[in-house]
Amino acid sequence: MSEDSIFRIASKSKAVTSVAVMILYEEGRFLLHDPVSKYLPAFANSVVAEPAPAGSPAGVTYVTVPARRPIQIRDLLTHTAGLTYGNGLAVERYKAAGLHGWYLADKNETIADCINRLATLPLHGHPGEAWQYGYGTDVLGYLVEVVSGQTLDRFIAERICAPLGMTDTSFFLPLDKVNRLAPVYGFEDGKLTLREPTEKSDYVHGPRKCFSGGAGLLSTARDYGRFLQMLLNGGQLDGVRVLSPKTVELMTANPTGTLFRTDTNAHCLGFRMN
């Protein structure tokens, strides 16, 4: 391990993508209460999986009903859109669609392809009514692409990484940095085991096509530290402003009330605050 080791930062990607969303929000490109379907029409007729009523035919475990209201952009930021990572009553539909679990780096398709397919599947909760961790930030990543006219990797590189000097943050690894990628270890039968060596990593050898705003970024401790310091500073670092102090204040307030809250933390616009 070295100071410039590059890691798969998984769900830490969500904060970066959420900042990208809020950059566009500051520019007046949308309102947080706008329905997502205004920009992503595939979500225009969302339905929700609910338990099948008594007396349903054998094997029928759920029915679908229209969502009580459309998914709003703020629902995606707060994980209250009804989206999980596929788990729930309609889990088999998600598995059949190839959308079960957070890992998208191996997909030979764009995030647009994934999200438009996701929009055809039943939600696992009515928008705004429950906190459920899932694909919401990946939908936001596609929203950034549609609204900005840039791919998500390009937008983040130009609007966040370049201004903050985050030189080692990307969705897939440049080949000249391969020797700095930290391999992935896990425990099997109580022993530390190498799960993903660099030579088998999709972040190096995969299709390099699907930009997962929810869990797809690579970064270093230095880069991510600079990103967090920008937020702690109210949206600026080293004289470069990424967000206004008012927007950072909005992002770190608690908009979900008791849907997700403990005595010590709350889920805000894009990330959890302790």
SS3 10: helix
The active-site residue out of 11, 103, 177, 244 is: 11
Active site residue 133: yes
Length of the chain: 274
Integer CA distances (angstroms), 206 to 107, 154, 182, in order: 8, 19, 16
The reply to whether 177 belongs to the active site is no
Q: Nearest CA to 198 among 187, 182, 212?
A: 182
> Which is the catalytic residue, given 12, 39, 133, 209?
133
Do β-strands 47-51 and 62-66 pair in parallel, antiparallel, or remain unpaired?
antiparallel
170 three-class SS: strand
What SS3 state is found at 16? helix
For residues 198 and 186, what is the distance between their CA atoms, to the nearest angstrom? 15
Asked if 95 is an active-site residue, the reply is: no
Q: Smallest Cα–Cα separation from 213: which of 9, 6, 32, 4?
A: 9
66 contacts 43 by C-beta, under 8 angstroms? no
- Given 14, 18, 85, 135, the catalytic residue: 14
d(CA 247, CA 36): 20
Catalytic residues, which ones?
Answer: 11, 14, 133
